[in-house]
Amino acid sequence: MKTITLIKGDGIGPEITDAVMKVINAAGVAIDWDIQSAGAGVIETEGSPLPERVIESVKKNKIALKSPVTTPIGKGFRSVNVQLRKELDLYANLRPCYNLPNVKTRYDKVDIVVVRENTEDLYAGIEHQVDENTAESIKRITRPASERIAKFAFDYAINNNRKEVCVVTKANICKLSDGLFLESARRIASLYPQIKFREILVDNCCMQLVQNPNQFDVLLLPNLYGDIVSDLCAGLIGGLGIAQGANIGTNYAVFEPVHGSAPDIAGEDKANPTAMLMSAIEMLKHIGEFEAANNIKLALFETLNANIMTADLGGKAKCSEFTQAIIDRLFVLSTK
Ligand code: NAI
């Protein structure tokens, strides 16, 4: 039996985690979950939102499924997410974004993969107070990290039959930092002549995404733009409730939805578990459980096609009802 670290998080985290565990169980995949709590809830007892045991667990098991963790704005501890990605060197944040069946959106046939650099940029957390009225953050970009993520994007394109990689920067303004990211992407692109290479400025990219998202294939971005643009892309396909993600490094992989802990709906059985479930489907593929991954996806799509949806998608189903509907369809699929 495979052991996988499960980071339960807070806010809607526990609800969507329970939903996903039930679905995976119903799909017949036996996983020994190494459950690790992290975030605000463990600071008092363990002195840190990301105790060493969580990192050690992922290092031991190599793979984790993670639900969202709250990061207080402007004060308190450093983001668990940023810390985890940095400590495990999960340098690639992969966020595939495509229309799901029967989910009404402004656009059809969106199929974009956001590849976000995950370890540096403004997220390096190098900030200081200059004086009472001035604060500075360092935007750190290095050639090795930029070339590594560019290589990841091009390899992903090749392995997934994609045609184009488009690098997104603000190199006209941040000439040195974004300039280096762009220059690195150009160098790597020259090694992949079979993949089209395109360059765009981030402001124009946002406008083009809203106007005509179908023109984009794989987007390659530094950390901050990647964070913002991937939420924009989630909005194109129906919102954060369905946007999946994965953090991939050389040795470890942590699968997690794009969204946060949604404190506004926590504990109300309203959360959409789809984003977490789609992330888990990718995790199952990663460990070779292709049949279960496929069955879960089919059951999820059948549920959506039957118009059973949570409130964020305009439906009436509670998180628990939606989950049960998927499980019911899984049982039918497995007896076919
Ligand atoms: P959020 O993603 O938690 O919520 C934004 C909006 O989307 C809210 O209206 C929420 O109800 C809705 N939403 C999100 N996920 C949903 C789901 N599965 N089903 C239905 N509706 C959903 O973003 P927000 O409010 O900016 O952040 C809340 C907290 O989460 C913050 O502390 C933030 O730092 C943290 N966060 C954690 C992340 C992680 O653990 N990977 C990622 C992003 C934010």
269 has catalytic annotation: no
Are residues 157 and 79 part of one domain?
no
Helix, strand, or coil here: 108?
coil
In angstroms, the CA 322 to CA 129 distance is: 47
The percentage of the chain sitting over the pLDDT mark of 90, rounded to a whole number, equals 86
From the candidates 91, 123, 225, 252, give the one annotated as an active-site residue. 123
- Lookup: tokens for 321: 């009802």
With a 6 Å cutoff on the Cβ, whether 244 touches ligand 1 is: no
Residue 78 has pLDDT above 80, yes or no: no
Residue 320 has pLDDT above 70, yes or no: yes
Last residue of a domain, one of 237, 263, 285: 237
Question: Which pLDDT does position 49 carry in this prediction?
Answer: 81
With a 6 Å cutoff on the Cβ, whether 66 touches ligand 1 is: no
Looking from the CA of residue 70, the nearest atom of ligand 1 is: 32
In a domain, 99, yes or no: no
In a domain, 153, yes or no: yes
Rounded to the nearest 5 percent, the helix, strand and coil shares of the chain are 45, 20, 35
Residue 333 has pLDDT above 90, yes or no: no
170 has catalytic annotation: yes
Q: How confident is the model at residue 74 (pLDDT cuts 50, 70, 90)?
A: low
Quick count: other Cβ atoms within 10 Å of Cβ 101? 10
Are residues 138 and 229 part of one domain?
yes
Question: Which pLDDT does position 48 carry in this prediction?
Answer: 81
Residue 40 has pLDDT above 80, yes or no: no
Are residues 249 and 227 part of one domain?
no
Residue 316 has pLDDT above 80, yes or no: yes
In a domain, 96, yes or no: no
Which of residues 142 and 1 earns the better pLDDT score? Answer: 142
Question: Which pLDDT does position 334 carry in this prediction?
Answer: 77
Question: Which pLDDT does position 76 carry in this prediction?
Answer: 65
Question: Which pLDDT does position 75 carry in this prediction?
Answer: 64
In a domain, 284, yes or no: yes
In angstroms, the CA 109 to CA 100 distance is: 9
Q: How confident is the model at residue 335 (pLDDT cuts 50, 70, 90)?
A: confident
* Backbone φ, ψ for residue 250 (5° rounding): -70, -35
In a domain, 100, yes or no: no
pTM, to two decimals: 0.93
Residue nearest to atom 42 of ligand 1 (CA): 260
Residue 158 has pLDDT above 70, yes or no: yes
Report how far ligand 1's centroid is from the alpha carbon of 99 (Å): 20
Question: Which pLDDT does position 63 carry in this prediction?
Answer: 97
Are residues 251 and 182 part of one domain?
no
Are residues 263 and 231 part of one domain?
no
Count of residues making up the chain = 336
With a 6 Å cutoff on the Cβ, whether 262 touches ligand 1 is: yes
Domain count, the chain: 2
pLDDT, average across residues 224-241 = 96
In a domain, 141, yes or no: yes
Nearest alpha carbon to residue 322 among 258, 278, 269, 282: 269
What CATH number should be reported for the domain holding residue 166? 3.40.718.10
Are residues 122 and 139 part of one domain?
yes
Residue 309 has pLDDT above 80, yes or no: yes
In angstroms, the CA 86 to CA 125 distance is: 11
pLDDT, average across residues 272-276 = 98
In a domain, 275, yes or no: yes
Are residues 228 and 120 part of one domain?
yes
Are residues 225 and 111 part of one domain?
yes
Residue nearest to atom 4 of ligand 1 (CA): 262
Are residues 128 and 146 part of one domain?
yes
pLDDT, average across residues 81-106 = 94
In angstroms, the CA 313 to CA 315 distance is: 6
Question: Which pLDDT does position 229 carry in this prediction?
Answer: 97
Are residues 268 and 170 part of one domain?
no
Q: What range defines the domain where residue 124 resides?
A: 105-237
Q: What mean pLDDT value characterizes the chain?
A: 94
Last residue of a domain, one of 182, 212, 237: 237
Residue nearest to atom 8 of ligand 1 (CA): 262
Pocket-testing residue among 259, 276, 320, 321, ligand 1, by greatest number of atoms within 8 A of Cβ? 259
Looking from the CA of residue 245, the nearest atom of ligand 1 is: 41
Are residues 198 and 113 part of one domain?
yes
Looking from the CA of residue 265, the nearest atom of ligand 1 is: 11
Q: How confident is the model at residue 136 (pLDDT cuts 50, 70, 90)?
A: very high
Residue nearest to atom 23 of ligand 1 (CA): 260
In a domain, 98, yes or no: no
Last residue of a domain, one of 187, 214, 237: 237
Are residues 259 and 232 part of one domain?
no
